């Protein structure tokens, strides 16, 4: 568990706001999802986290359980592509923790590959984990969520807002997840269930960033973000708390982008940044371009 995961509990949130509530989170041993769960546990919730690797998942659950005296955290090993495993996970959660209020669909797969290098099976692997896995999780939880007028959160992305190279599989998967969430918002709203997506930008210290970036371009990556830094896992936890707390009760079918404004610059990375938007940069950045009438600046 990272230091941020261990220590994070924003003073903004009232102690005990999730007392008596239970969250189930797939991909719950990962850096983003474990911090989402950590924050909920510290604010009173009990949890079950689901992961493919038994040892890793059980160890993370044991760590998370130390965050609040008296909390209960189950580590359940399951592959989200297997619906029957999720049905069993939900049954065990309800049997041992008493109920199910919140579902976070965080399990995902990712790697960089051009379409040339992306086999049909590789594309399918990510679609299966992300899309089918999220659907299976919701489907297996549905009857329990109806009982508690629960809430669903999908961990999405911003890749598909523009054509992000090497991410055909993930872009297609996350677009499908956003669409699925919208349908669930409409179909499940009358049961009191909300469905939303959180779309993180580049978050420091995550497996996702390690897989999709290189340490030597970290500085460049930060400068590409309008807020001029990478995100922190706790910033995704804060969005989660907002949505799951009563503050988010009337928010459904939405995608909350938590990325320092990064996606607005996707596809514009050929321009030097931030110089291209500063006064000096206007001269340098647009020199020689037909539309650069402001060259007197």
Tell me how far, at minimum, the Cβ of 44 lies from ligand COA, in Å.
28
Catalytic residue among 34, 156, 195, 252, which? 156
Q: Which residue number, 231 or 248, has a Cβ lying nearer to ligand COA?
A: 231
**CB 247 within 8 Å of CB 256:** no
Tell me how far, at minimum, the Cβ of 70 lies from ligand COA, in Å.
32
Q: Which residue number, 100 or 177, has a Cβ lying nearer to ligand COA?
A: 177
Q: Which residues contact 143 (CB under 8 A, 6 or more apart)?
A: none
Tell me how far, at minimum, the Cβ of 39 lies from ligand COA, in Å.
20
Q: Report the C-alpha dihedral over residues 51, 205, 6, 65, rounded to 10 degrees.
A: 0
Q: Which residue number, 9 or 169, has a Cβ lying nearer to ligand COA?
A: 169
**Spatial separation of the C-alpha atoms in residues 250 and 248, rounded to whole Å:** 6
| φ/ψ of residue 147, rounded to 5 | -65, -35
**CB 111 within 8 Å of CB 125:** no
Tell me how far, at minimum, the Cβ of 17 lies from ligand COA, in Å.
29
**CB 101 within 8 Å of CB 19:** no
Q: Is the peptide bond before 181 cis (omega within 30 degrees of 0)?
A: no
Largest distance between two CA atoms of the chain? 72
7 is catalytic: no
Q: Which residues contact 198 (CB under 8 A, 6 or more apart)?
A: 153, 154, 155, 156, 236, 239, 240, 243, 255, 256, 258
174 is catalytic: yes
Q: Which residue number, 104 or 142, has a Cβ lying nearer to ligand COA?
A: 104
Catalytic residue among 21, 60, 151, 174, which? 174
Tell me how far, at minimum, the Cβ of 133 lies from ligand COA, in Å.
11
C-alpha distances out from residue 295 to 272, 275, 286, 287, Å: 17, 15, 8, 7
Positions that interact with ligand COA (CB under 6 A):
108-111, 113, 117-119, 121-122, 125-126, 129, 207-208, 211
For residue 131, give both structure tokens.
Answer: 């899309």
Q: Which residue number, 65 or 167, has a Cβ lying nearer to ligand COA?
A: 167
- Partners of 256 in the β-ladder: 198
Tell me how far, at minimum, the Cβ of 166 lies from ligand COA, in Å.
9
Q: Which residue number, 173 or 241, has a Cβ lying nearer to ligand COA?
A: 173
Q: Which residues contact 147 (CB under 8 A, 6 or more apart)?
A: 99, 100
- Active-site residue numbers? 156, 174
């Amino acid at each position: 568990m990272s230091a941020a995961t261990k220590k994070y509990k924003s003073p903004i949130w009232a102690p005990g706001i999730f007392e008596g509530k239970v969250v189930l989170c797939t991909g719950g041993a990962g850096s983003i999802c474990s911090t989402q769960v950590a924050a909920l546990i510290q604010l009173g919730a009990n949890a079950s986290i689901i992961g493919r690797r038994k040892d890793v998942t059980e160890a993370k659950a044991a760590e998370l359980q130390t965050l609040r005296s008296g909390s209960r955290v189950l580590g359940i090993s399951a592959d989200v592509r297997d619906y029957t495993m999720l049905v069993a996970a939900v049954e065990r959660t309800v049997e041992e923790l008493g109920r199910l209020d919140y579902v976070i669909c965080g399990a995902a797969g990712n790697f960089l590959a051009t379409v040339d290098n992306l086999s049909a099976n590789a594309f399918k692997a990510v679609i299966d984990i992300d899309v089918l896995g999220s659907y299976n999780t919701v489907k297996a939880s549905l009857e329990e969520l109806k009982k508690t007028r629960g809430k669903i959160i999908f961990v999405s992305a911003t890749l598909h807002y523009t054509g992000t190279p090497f991410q055909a599989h993930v872009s297609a998967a996350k677009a499908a997840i956003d669409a699925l969430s919208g349908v669930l918002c409409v179909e499940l709203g009358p049961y009191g269930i909300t469905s939303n997506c959180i779309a993180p930008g580049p978050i420091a210290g995550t497996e996702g960033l390690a897989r999709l970036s290189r340490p030597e371009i970290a500085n460049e990556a930060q400068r590409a973000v309008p807020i001029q830094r990478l995100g922190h896992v706790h910033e995704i936890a804060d969005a989660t708390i907002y949505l799951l707390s009563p503050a988010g009760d009337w928010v459904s079918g939405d995608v909350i982008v938590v990325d320092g404004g990064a996606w607005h610059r996707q596809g514009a990375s050929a321009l030097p940044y931030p110089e291209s938007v500063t006064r000096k940069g206007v001269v340098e950045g647009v020199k020689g371009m037909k539309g650069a009438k402001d060259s007197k600046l």
